[in-house]
Amino acid sequence: MAAQAIEVTAATPRQGTASALTGRTATSKSASAEPVATVRNLVKQYGNHRALDNVSFELHRGEIVALLGPNGAGKTTAIRTLLGLTRQDAGEALLFGKSPRAREGRLRTGAMLQVGRMPESLKVCEHIDLFRSYFPNPLPAAEVLSIAGLTEIAGKLFGQLSGGQKQRMLFALALCGDPDLLFLDEPTLGMDIEARRALWDQVRMLAARGKTILLTTHYLPEAEALATRVLVLQAGRIVAEGTPAELKGRVQMSTVRCRTSIAEDVLRGLPGVSEVTAGERVTLLTAEPEALLRALLPLDEQLSDLEVTGTAFEDAFLALTSQPAAPAL
């Protein structure tokens, strides 16, 4: 697919790319540190459906990484593999350098998964008390309640909570062990704007304390607001990777195709051109399509078969962002 051609490789740590990240400690990342989690050439097949197709990435300390993609792209499968809940068909998944099934890693990991129902006849504080007992050094219950914004309703039965409160309850359970690595699978599903913003603030604070966060979302603004790095998953493949700002730049790219005799070198020098692919028709990738056309047309009187389109990547993003489930902000 065409999007492969413009895959971005994020190289250096990026600080302050989003204004929202002002609370972060900029010194927490060092390139040589052992990754908190590693995924290498992961493949997972369900019958005829390939949920993960050769996926590789690393998570480093203090990072907030967003797995962005439409439903069915493989986001949840990636998280479930890292949690040791499913076995991959090929490739490797490591948490803190060990198998995801090792107890040691589980003691340092918290997970917020998509849970349809949990026992409804237990109170919020009882659920938290129970989950805290699984860890040798849990966060104090009062702190868990306050981070998740549940202090006021600690005495309520789970069955009496609203949808957004239930999500916060699940977030609270993920925090009980004071984990170094936090998985959040569609964390703000069903939350109103206020609750969503509050959760984002808490996630940023956790990252500032050196925690690593991997979240999935099909909701572009969430990845943009939170993530230091975004991995775009589509049909089980990572089709793009970068900071939200870099990806936004990519989204505004256009593809120009035409039949022309202009030399490739010249084409590369035209406005905004980042990539040239020769063929029967030449394909140009540009961030400034109008300026490119103004420069291009006078250079070759014989130019024909001209076509300007949004990039395949943009199409991918449109598919991502036009999900009906994505609420407007």
Partner 1 sequence: MATTADALVTMPRTMPSLTRVYGKEIRYELTKLARNRAFTLSTTGFPVIFYLMFASMNAHAEFHGQLYSRYLLAGYACFGAMGSSLFGIGAGLAHERSHGWLELKRASPMPAGAYLLAKLVASMCFAVAITLLLAALGTMISGHIISLMELGKLLLVVIGGVIPFASLGLLLGLLMAPNAAPGTINLVYLPLSFCGGLWMPVEMLPDWLQHVSHVLPSYYFSRLALGSLGYSTVSPLLSWGVLAAYTVALLALCAYIFHRSEARA
Q: Whose Cβ is closer to partner 1: residue 147's or residue 296's? A: 147
What DSSP assignment string belongs to 109-150? EEEE---S---TTSBHHHHHHHHHTTSSSPPPHHHHHHHTT-
Shortest Å distance, C-beta 103 to partner 1: 6
When the beta carbons of 21 and 282 are compared against partner 1, the nearer one is 21
* Residues of the shown chain interacting with partner 1 in the complex, contacts defined by CB under 8 A: 28, 46, 61, 80, 83-87, 103-104, 106-109, 111, 113-119, 121-122, 126, 129-131, 133-137, 157, 170, 173, 177-178, 180, 209-211
- Residue 83 vs residues 106, 113, 175: alpha-carbon distances, Å: 8, 10, 15
Q: What does the block give as tokens for 249?
A: 């730049």
Q: Given the complex with partner 1, which of 44 and 218 has the nearer CB atom?
A: 44
- Whether the CB-CB separation of 108 and 180 falls below 8 Å is answered with yes
Minimum CB distance to partner 1 smaller for 89 or for 307: 89
User: Please, what is the Cα angle at 226 between 43 and 275, to 5 degrees?
Assistant: 65
Where b means 16+ CB within 10 Å and e means fewer, 259-274 reads: ebeeeeeebeebebbe
Angle between the 244-251 and 312-321 helix axes, to the nearest 10 degrees? Answer: 110
Question: Nearer to partner 1 by C-beta: 101 or 294?
Answer: 101
Phi-psi map region of 210: left, alpha, beta (phi>0 left; psi -120 to 50 alpha): left
User: What is the rounded distance in angstroms from the CA atom of residue 228 to the CA atom of residue 17?
Assistant: 8
Shortest CB 84 distance to partner 1, Å: 7
CB of 171 to partner 1, least distance (A): 12
* CA–CA–CA angle 278, 280, 282 (5° rounding): 40
The number of helix segments (H) and strand segments (E) in the chain equals: 11, 13
Q: State in angstroms the smallest separation of the CB of 279 from partner 1.
A: 44
| Phi-psi group of 282: left, alpha or beta (phi > 0 → left; psi -120 to 50 → alpha; rest → beta) | beta
**From the CB of 92, what's the least distance to partner 1, in Å?**
18
**What's the min distance (Å) between Cβ of 79 and partner 1?**
9
Q: Is the dihedral of CA 218, 100, 28, 57 positive or negative?
A: negative
What is the amino acid identity at position 147? Answer: I
**CB-nearer residue toward partner 1: 150 or 312:** 150
Nearer to partner 1, 131 or 200 (CB): 131
Nearest approach in angstroms of CB 205 to partner 1 is: 10
In angstroms, give the least distance from the CB of 165 to partner 1: 17
